[in-house]
Amino acid sequence: MRLLALTAAAAILLSGQAIAAPQLIYRVDSASAVIVGNHLVITANGAVDSGGWSKPELIILKPSASEAKALRTKFLAKPPASRETVVQALLPIHVRKIAPLPRYGAIEVEVTAATNSLIVQITR
């Protein structure tokens, strides 16, 4: 009896909406990187290809070298569920990340999306 109940519960959970992992947004339109106090504040604006995207975030990638001149980031957001009805249009999305200051040598930030990337200088 327990096995039947567990099987039914698993089927109900698996048939529902799957939890979508964050994906790269469609494109990045603008970005800025400013040093404020002892932190680096990165803001980015972009577009997603449909409605329903949520929880935008900038993920800072580990540098390939400790003295790399660019701090590489990915602009991610959670896409809508596969069965969710959403508008099919390019819609704006915005993100702001406060990060510790980068290591010596980093003078620019690269923000990467699915179709393009943008490199901006770090300013004070």
Amino acid at the residue 98: I
Return the pLDDT at 63: 79
Return the pLDDT at 47: 97
Q: Reduced to 3 states, what is the DSSP secondary structure of residue 106?
A: coil
Return the pLDDT at 117: 97
* DSSP for 53-96, written as a single string: -EEEEEEEPPPSSTT-SEEEEEEEEEPPPTT-----S-EEEEEE
Amino acid at the residue 69: K
- In 10 A of CB 117, how many CB atoms? 16
In tens digits, the chain (124 residues) has pLDDT values of: 565 555 555 555 554 445 679 999 999 999 999 999 999 999 999 999 999 999 999 999 987 777 789 999 999 999 999 889 999 999 999 999 999 988 777 899 999 999 999 999 999 8
Domain locations in the chain?
20-123
Using a cut of 0.85, tell me whether the model's pTM lies above it. no
Return the pLDDT at 6: 56
